[in-house]
Every structure is written in structure tokens, then in C-alpha cells.
Amino acid sequence: MDDDLVEIKSSLGLQVLMYYQGFFSLLYLAVSGGCLLNKMANYEFSNAILELVTFPIFCLWTVTEVARVGLGYVGNVKEKVPMVSAFLLLTIFPQLVAVSFFTFLQDPKFPFDSACGSIMLVFLVLELVIGKRTLDVLIARQTAQFFRLCQEAELERMRATDAAPSPSVDPITTTTTTEAVPPPPVDPITTTTTTESVPPPPPPEVAAPAPTRGGRGESRAGAHRRRRRPVPRERTLNTDETESLLSRDPSEDEEPSIKQPGEPTDDVTNPLLG
């Protein structure tokens, strides 16, 4: 039941002042208007400027007073900050300026002008002071309501988020994905085999060049690797062998050509080698 109650921040004092000041404004309008018409018809103004501005100022006050009282009355009851602000602005200008002019500056001045003008100034000053306090209270209330609405919207959003169904989580899958995977076992034989250094391939064998006469054209390495023939030992020729050598044809003394490997060779016996 208490939640349905709403605290009202309207100012009762301001409402009472505007109520009585509204009726007094009607009286002031009637009496001051009649006096002003009498002055313009039967009296001469000492200052021509005052004669020109008095009637326009009175018309401005009349129109503004109707709007000012209406804005203050409705704004205070309905707690409308813009209306109360406009009420205070119109109270300062032009109402205070106009009433001060009618009370102290108009010429000629009747006793009613000073008496009613002073009462009207008291009403305006009181409405200005109480209206300023009322405006501060209304602003504080509107600010509190704004923050309360923001908090309620935030709470509703949080409740909607909490009420939303969360996706189901499979405990088996979660455990499997969070467990650390052990490293694979290491085979010592495979590790030893793979870590052994591979010996470099043997250098290709270089074919030995074909033997030439006198060993020309052979490489130095081939000459060292080739086995040298044994040198035959010298022996003393006898008389028959000497005569046989002397009687032979010189063409037969030519050195036989060296055959390449794979060619048929003639079986020639060197007489010097016996």
C-alpha cells in the first residue's frame, strides 16, 4: 500500500501567494487602469517621455501578469520545472520593473499608486524567494527520478542476462580438453639409430690411364701406383750369342709396340731376357 503513495514536492506557500496575488492583481488592474486613463485625460505630464512610456508599460504588465500567474500555478501543481522557471523569469522581468515604475517613477502619482504598488512588490518578492526554493526541490526530485529509472533499467537488463539459459557443458569433454597430454614414449633404439652420424660415401675410383711409351701422359698419382717391372740383371754373353746378335737384321731390333688391353699379343721372346 505504501508503494503506491507518491510524495508531492509542490510548494503550498507559493500556491497560496499566487492565489491571493491573482485576486489582488485584478484589483490593481482595475484601479490603476482607471487612474491612468484619468491622468492622460485630465492631467499634464511634467516629462514628455513619461507620458509616452506609461501606457505601453501598463499594457505590457497586464499581458505578462496573466501569463506569469498561469505558468506558476500550473507548474507548481504539476511539478513542471520549465513552467516554474518561466514563472520566476517573468517575475523578475518585466513585472518587478513595471510595478517599481508605477510605484515610484510615474508622474503625476496618486496615493493609490504608492500603496497598491508597495503591496504588489511584496507579493512579487515573496513569490520570487519561495519560487526559487521550490524550483531547487523540483530539480532535485527530477534528478533522483532520472537516476532511479536508470538503475531500474540496469537491473532489468542484468536480470534478463541472468535468466537467459547458459549453454550446457559436457563434463567429460571439458575434462579431456583441460588435461595435459603426456609426451609420446621415446624408443632408445630408434633414437640411437637416428642420431648416429651417417659416414660419407667413398670417393669415386679414378680409372688408371692407359700405359704409354716411356710413361708419358700418365698422371703423377698413376705413376706412383703403377708397379715397376723388375730390371733384368746383366749377364755376360758367350761367343755364340755374340755372333748370333751380330748376324741378325737391324730391322728386327725395333722395339715391339705396346698393345692396348684386350688386343691379341704376339708371343715374342726377347733374346736379351733369355
Q: Tens of pLDDT along 12-25? A: 999 999 999 999 99
Span 71-100, average pLDDT: 95
Q: What is the pLDDT of residue 191?
A: 46
Domain boundary assignment for the chain = 10-162
Q: Say what the alpha-carbon torsion angle 147, 149, 151, 153 is, to the nearest 10 degrees.
A: -150
Alpha carbon 111 to its chain's center: 75
- Among candidate residues 112, 79, 84, the one with its CA nearest the CA of residue 18: 84
- Among candidate residues 108, 100, 103, 86, the one with its CA nearest the CA of residue 36: 108
Q: What is the pLDDT of residue 160?
A: 86
Q: What is the pLDDT of residue 138?
A: 93
Degrees to nearest 5, angle at CA 8 with 129 and 26: 50
Query: pLDDT tens, 246-272?
Result: 666 555 555 555 555 555 554 444 444
Half-sphere exposure of 184 (CA within 13 A, CB side): 4
Instruction: List the single range of 54-68, 93-107, 119-133, 210-224 with lowest mean pLDDT.
Output: 210-224
Tell me: pLDDT of 243 over 50.
Answer: yes
Query: pLDDT tens, 54-63?
Result: 999 999 999 9
CA distance 69 to 204: 122
Query: pLDDT tens, 184-221?
Result: 665 555 444 444 455 666 666 655 555 555 444 445 55
Enter the pTM of the model. 0.56
